[in-house]
Structure formats: structure tokens, C-alpha cells
Amino acid sequence: MFEFSHQEYLYALALIPIFSVVFAYLLFNRKKRLQRFGDVELVNRLMPDASTHKIVIKFVLLMIAYTFTVIGVAGPRIGTKLQESKQVGSEIIIALDVSNSMMAEDIQPNRLERAKQAVSRLIDRLGDNRIGLIVFAGDAYTQLPITTDYVSAKMFLSTISTDIVPIQGTAIGSAINLAVNSFSPASEAGKAIIVITDGENHEDNPVQAAEEAAKQGISVHAIGVGSTKGVPIPVRTAYGQRDFMRDREGKIVMTSLDEKTLQEMTIAGKGIYVRATTANMGLNNVFEEIKKMEKIEYETKVYSDFAEMFQWFFGVVFVFLLLELLISNRKNRFRIFVNE
């Protein structure tokens, strides 16, 4: 098993595109300044040793070194020893709505991102409970089977977007049915489904699905995300401009939270319904309810020893920095002589 002990440092990789844009701007600005002196070919003859290509190569080497530095600082390590561990907990499956309406910004930064942030914090509090992730729009898909690997859970969570499900729509019932079939079949632990959605169901009957789940001893909870008043759904045009989703007649599509459906669903599923706000997503309320569920002792295999890998990455950093130092900004003199 490969993991990072400080995964949050990997966000520093997002600076690479910024560095690249700044570098490209500096090169462009340099070229503009040279043009002020006169004809570019004449200036190049007056500066025969100057090499733009080598400057680019040196920058690329520095960016590679930076990438490996960030990965090394993040603490890469690999599990070397598996050990059986007894844990006591319940099973929880989170069904997250990824339909286009979840991009509405009535909850900041938008419904989906706010939900992901709350789920990430919930994962940090799970203790010995097992978790699974399901995403749904027009259909439902398993994103992560039931597991105690919280590092993987947060990694899969970070990749979730509205593009992850090819069929748009909102099939809450399908998500509940898939969740029911995703629990450990022989387990007697308490089982709960947490549906995070704006409730605009267009495909099936979520109330009936929740009722069937409750018959199998699985409670169905819901977090209602969004405003009950209609709000537009932001989109980007083909030219990158901000606009709002429109129907075939060109009218702006409005999306609103359907609390009635979610309340009926949780009553049928013997769970609780919580209305999310920007300040409070409501997952804490649901988790307190889940903690009352029956727990069982189960065995799981965890890595007890890890081999640190950071030194290998720093070794690669040293090699690329050395290459960058050895490459001169000037052209090869022999090549200049031949060109002449």
C-alpha cells in the first residue's frame, strides 16, 4: 500500500501552472524589450551566445525538481507489514448527488463542493466505523466499496465532480438500492445510508426505496442541500465565459431544494432529515444519530509498519538540480562557429 503521511502538501503542485504562466510572460516580455532595440535578427547577431531554448530547458528541469520536492515533503511511504486488528463499529454509505443542479451557488462555494468538504471532515471522525461512497445523477455508481481505509476514501472524494456520472438527472432511489446491496451481507453491524442531495428527484421513487431499506434494518438519512427558492445553475460556455444553464427555449433553468420528498424519504427509512446551510451541513447531527446504532467487533488487516520513500524523491531532486546547474544559458560555441 502506497500513501502519503502529509497528503495536504500535495496541493502545492497546483502552483506549477502559475509558475509556467509567469515564466511564459517573462519570456514574452523579454522578447518585446529586445524588439525595442531594432530588428530581432540583428539583435540576435549582436547576442550570439544567448539561448532561449536553454532557458526553457532549465525551467523545465526546475519544475521537475519542484514536483519531486513536493512529493517528497508530502511523506511518501509504502506499507511493509500487514497486521490483523480487531475493531468495533458500524457501516455507513454516503450517497452523494453529482447532478448539474449541485453546482448551484446558494451554498458557498457551491452545493457539491460544500458537501465534499463536510464529508471529508466526517471521515476524520469515523473512528472504527466503515464507510463507502456512492455517486449518483441519472444513475448510481459505487465510487468506493465499504472500507476502513480513510486515506483512500478522502482521495476518491476529492476526485468527485459532476462529470463523473455520464447520465444526468437525479435517481435517489437507484442510489439507495445500490447502497443497500453494497453493505457487507453477513455483517450484523448497524447500517446507515446518508443521502446528500438537493432532492430534485426525476427518475424513480426514493420513498419506496427507503422503505425497503428500513425493512432490512438499514436506516436512511438525508442532508438537504440548497435553497427552497429557485436559483440558477452556473455553467461555462465554449469560450470560457460564465453563463447559466438554459432549457431548449433559452430560458434559465432554476433549481430548488425539494424538502418534502426528502422528509418523506427519511420517515420511510427511519432516519432523520437535516437542512444544510453554508455554516452547518448537518452531518454532525446525522453522525450523532448513527453513533447510537448497534456496533459489532470485526477483524481487519492494517499496515503496522511503513518504509519511508522520501529519500528517493529527494535523490531525484538532486539529480535534476545538478543538471540545471550544468546547463549554461549560452549557446554551444562549436554550434555557433558551424552556423557561421
Residue 20 placed within a domain:
yes
Side-chain half-sphere exposure of 318, counting CA atoms within 13 A: 6
Residue 81 placed within a domain:
no
Q: Which of 328, 308, 329, 339 is nearest to 78 (CA)?
A: 308
Residues 214 and 236 in one domain: yes
Is the alpha carbon torsion for 285, 288, 292, 297 positive or negative? Answer: positive
Residues 214 and 168 in one domain: yes
Residue 101 placed within a domain:
yes
Strands 254-255 and 273-275: unpaired
- pLDDT per position as a tens digit, 281-312: 888 888 888 877 766 555 555 555 678 888 99
Residues 21 and 102 in one domain: no
The count of domains in the chain is 2
CA–CA dist 197, 189 (Å, integer): 26
Domain that holds residue 107: 87-299
Residues 191 and 229 in one domain: yes
Residues 269 and 247 in one domain: yes
Residues 286 and 320 in one domain: no
- pLDDT per position as a tens digit, 33-83: 766 665 656 555 655 555 667 888 899 999 999 999 999 999 888 866 656
Percent helix, strand, coil in the chain, to 5, is 45, 25, 30
Q: Is 70 exceeded by the pLDDT of residue 129?
A: yes
Residue 62 placed within a domain:
yes
Residues 139 and 264 in one domain: yes
Banded model confidence at residue 211, pLDDT cuts 50, 70, 90: very high
CA–CA dist 302, 148 (Å, integer): 9
Residue 304 placed within a domain:
no
* Residues 302, 308, 312: CA angle, nearest 5 degrees: 140
Residues 210 and 289 in one domain: yes
Beta bridge partners of 296: 89
Which CATH number is 120's domain given? Answer: 3.40.50.410
